[in-house]
Amino acid sequence: MRLPVSLSSAARPARFRRMAAVGLVCLVALSPAGAQAQNFFEELFGIGKAAKPPAPPRNVPAEPSPAPGPTAPGAPALPGEGAETRPSAPAAPRQPVVLKVPAEDNVVGQDLLLNGLNGALKIEKAGAGYTASMTLPGTKVSQPTEACAVKLNAGKPVALTAEGRSQGVSRFSMSAPECPLKLEVLDGSVLATPLGDKVCTFTAQDCATTPGGLWGPGAAALIPQAGEFDTARGVADKAVRDNFKIMTQRARGQDVRPIVQEQAAFSSDREQACRTYAREGAHGYCHLRYTEARAIALAARLGANTASPTASNTSAPRPRRPKPAVDGVNPDAAGGGDPFFEP
């Protein structure tokens, strides 16, 4: 009769152990580290994340595509396959920029002033040629602080000798014995250069003159056209740069250096000549004419046909930017920047 009791007693501890194991699993799942335990059991029994297929590895180089075999006869050729490679045509050489050359008679009958300030120059037509009447401003030799003026050839017109257009613009020589000059006709002005000394001295009149410079209109007639001059100056500057580049490209070796030095000398001479022109900062007329003459001269030296302009400076004027005053003085104001000027 004790045998059944002993068997149930022996089976009871095993049942308790299984129940305890299940309870332990539930406690572990509900504990703060339940997430980690859950992952452990999912991995152990192959459920959850473990049941998902593994992700393919990244950055695996792709299999190179097999090289295409020879094209079958009659099949269309692939792009770039069997195409004939033709060399590109050489770029056409750059051509000089040619500005409109001023006519010889565009200054006939005009009253021109040296630097737009004083003196007098008037060119007139005389048959097939031209004459010039000229009054040179200067200072007294005995009193350099006093001004003086001398009329060439006692005020009589002097015949001008045409020298052609070797530098693009019309050139004349004025063989006055007291002060021989070279005259270059620009647009509305004349550029005078002494053929001898820069200073022409007239002992009988006790006067020393410096006739070299730009003879042109007075400032009052130029300021209303300042916008047009500014636009034309941009065209002329670009023509000089383009022609200068072409000249240096055509030169060889040691011939480039003199061209660069000549260009630098031109910029310096232009600044020195135009700084004395009346109210130059307000209109820029002198800089424009000097630059146009330089562009035309370069085009002529490059062998361009100066009778056929390739650039025009007749476009609409661009607005001029106001120049800042320097040390409280406006150089373009009346008086030329003199702080003691009284209107």
Task: Tell me the C-alpha distance between 40 and 305, whole Å.
Answer: 95
pLDDT digits (tens, 9 = 90+) for 110-120: 999 999 999 99
Whether residue 337 contacts residue 329, with contact meaning beta carbons closer than 8 Å, is answered with yes
Residue ranges covered by each domain of the chain: 104-216, 219-301
Task: Estimate to the nearest angstrom the gap between the alpha carbon of 277 and the chain centroid.
Answer: 26
Task: Tell me the C-alpha distance between 222 and 117, whole Å.
Answer: 13
**Who's near 313: CB < 8 A, 6+ residues apart?**
99, 100, 231, 232, 235, 236
Q: Is the pLDDT of residue 342 over 50?
A: no
pLDDT digits (tens, 9 = 90+) for 152-210: 999 999 999 999 998 899 999 998 888 999 999 999 999 999 998 899 999 999 999 99
Helix axes 256-274, 226-250, angle to 10 degrees: 160
Residue 341's pLDDT is 36
pLDDT digits (tens, 9 = 90+) for 2-44: 444 444 445 555 565 666 555 555 554 555 555 555 565 455 4
DSSP code at position 342? -
Task: Tell me the C-alpha distance between 42 and 47, whole Å.
Answer: 5
The residues with which 281 forms a beta bridge, in sequence order, are: none
DSSP string, 163-198: ---TTSS-EEEE--TTS-EEEEE-SS-EEEEESS-S
Length of the chain in residues, anyone? Answer: 343
Q: Is the pLDDT of residue 339 over 60?
A: no
Mean pLDDT of 126-135: 96
DSSP string, 86-143: -PPPPPPPPPPP-PPPPPGGGGBT--EEETTTEEEEEEEEETTEEEEEEEEEEEESS-
Residue that has been written with the tokens 């006709």 in this structure: 185
Task: Tell me the C-alpha distance between 172 and 184, whole Å.
Answer: 6
Task: Tell me the C-alpha distance between 192 and 287, whole Å.
Answer: 15
pLDDT digits (tens, 9 = 90+) for 52-104: 555 555 555 555 555 555 555 555 555 555 555 565 655 656 899 999 999 99
Predicted TM-score of the model (pTM)? 0.67
DSSP code at position 329? B
